[in-house]
Amino acid sequence: MRLLPLCWLLGMTPALAAPVQLKLLEWGYLPAGYEQQFADYAKAHGVEATVSRIEPLLTDFDSVYRALRTRSADVVLPTSYFYKAHHQPLFKLLLPIDFSRLQHYAEVKPALKNTEYDKQGERNYSVPFSYAMFSLAYDSKQVPQAPTSWQVLANSSLSGQFAEFCDQFEPLLFSVLLSLGKSPALFASGEMLADKTLQQEVEQQLSQRLQASRGFWFNQANRCEDLRQQTFATTWGLELVECNKQNEQQWRIAMVQEGAIYALDAISIARHVGDDPARLKAAYLLVDFLLSAPLQRQMLVGTPTISASNIASRPPLSPQEQAVLPDRPLPEFDERLLVPALPAHIKNRYKRMVQQAIVASGKEGLVKQCPWDLDN
């Protein structure tokens, strides 16, 4: 005799497994509607799963660390230099990636594979998602000749004509060091701190730049009004196409002679997800969905300064997108161009440098609108 489940004998319908509900901490530039697209993607792969975006959005190292430590995020998108920052605590809160579970990893650009920024031992703890260049932008309607150096921002004659982007302080300080013609290696190693003359030179240049600036702006909200009265701005470039449209400006990226500064956003899975096989399967599906060409292609519309990891993701550029880019191609990705991760003791001393420069510039009040973690 065939045994029937007890619920059937009692006339009950067996309960379906509840959908896995994933929480994603990201920067805010994913395409609108990606949550429903993921649910459809998961269902097509035989999994009932949803994803919701964590608010407030990702802003800095602490926001990632806090979300992982409290288990409020299942998947996160840290920037490359977060992984080995401080005393590398993120590795204890993340799972090493099993690339065999990712169908679309084969489509990732070769230059983005086998990276060092996220490696501990022989394992990598992230999958590359997108990268962008920290840029000097200018309104070509007001500045017909493209600037060629970061030095232009320390020019007192530009007082009040540019806004300083206040994402994290590392790219700002890094760009000041480059503007002085110094090697990026001095920043990563902390050797700059052993050279009192150079340290004073960097602080002075940073103070001059901050003093000349109109203030600070933060483009997660794509606040185009913040750029309306500007001639120059530092930026990752996500907002330039939209702000040209809204403000009737013509923002472009300048190719500075000191070299490129890149940051890469990557996808990682929280360690606690590994305790639940169903949640882990859904999390890998979410990572694979984020790597897929259709999703990344949507993300790149209107943001020509971002490059995605999927080799087939770049859609054709519109005239408005092309107009934002410099005349010559942006540099190819090179991990050596990434903003470097900083050990805690070096980062804390750099923070003090930035704090002193802010005080010297008289901009203490304005900097409070930034998500910098200078006090932590």
Instruction: Flag whether 372 is in a domain.
Output: no
What's the chain's length in residues? 376
C-alpha span between 34 and 61 (Å, rounded): 24
Question: Beta-carbon neighbour count of residue 131 at 10 Å?
Answer: 24
C-alpha span between 132 and 139 (Å, rounded): 20
* 237 and 348 inside one domain: yes
Query: What are 165-210's pLDDT values in tens digits?
Result: 877 788 888 889 888 988 878 888 888 888 999 999 999 999 988 8
| Domain coverage including residue 208 | 135-260+343-367
Confidence label for 9 from pLDDT (cuts 50, 70 and 90): very low
Instruction: Flag whether 239 is in a domain.
Output: yes
* 38 and 162 inside one domain: no
CATH of the domain at 270: 3.40.190.10
* 174 and 271 inside one domain: no
Query: What are 25-45's pLDDT values in tens digits?
Result: 999 999 999 999 999 999 999
Instruction: Flag whether 322 is in a domain.
Output: no
Where is average pLDDT lowest: 130-144, 156-170, 321-335? 156-170
* 145 and 294 inside one domain: no
Instruction: Flag whether 323 is in a domain.
Output: no
C-alpha span between 229 and 142 (Å, rounded): 11
* 25 and 119 inside one domain: yes
Apex CA 91: angle with CA 90 and CA 94, to 5°?
Answer: 85
Q: Tell me what the mean pLDDT of segment 129-151 comes to.
A: 93
Q: What is the mean pLDDT of the chain?
A: 89
Q: How much of the chain exceeds pLDDT 70, in percent? A: 92
Query: What are 281-317's pLDDT values in tens digits?
Result: 999 999 999 999 999 999 999 999 999 999 999 999 9
Q: What is the DSSP letter of 49?
A: E
Number of domains in the chain: 2
Residue type, 83: Y
Q: Tell me what the mean pLDDT of segment 314-324 comes to.
A: 95
Instruction: Please check whether residue 60 is in contact with residue 371, taking contact to mean a CB–CB distance below 8 angstroms.
Output: yes
Confidence label for 2 from pLDDT (cuts 50, 70 and 90): very low
pLDDT number for residue 171 = 87
C-alpha span between 126 and 167 (Å, rounded): 22
* 224 and 359 inside one domain: yes
Model-wide pTM > 0.85: yes
Question: Beta-carbon neighbour count of residue 375 at 10 Å?
Answer: 6
End-to-end CA distance of the chain: 68
Residue type, 297: R
CA 330 → CA 112, 201, 262, 284, distances in Å?
16, 29, 11, 32
What beta strand segments (E) does the chain contain? 20-25, 49-53, 75-76, 119-120, 123-124, 127-133, 135-139, 162-165, 215-217, 232-235, 251-254, 262-269, 306-308
- Of 208 and 123, which is predicted with more confidence? 123
pLDDT number for residue 1 = 43
pLDDT number for residue 14 = 46
Asked if the bond preceding 56 is cis, omega within 30° of 0, the reply is yes
The SS3 of residue 214 is coil
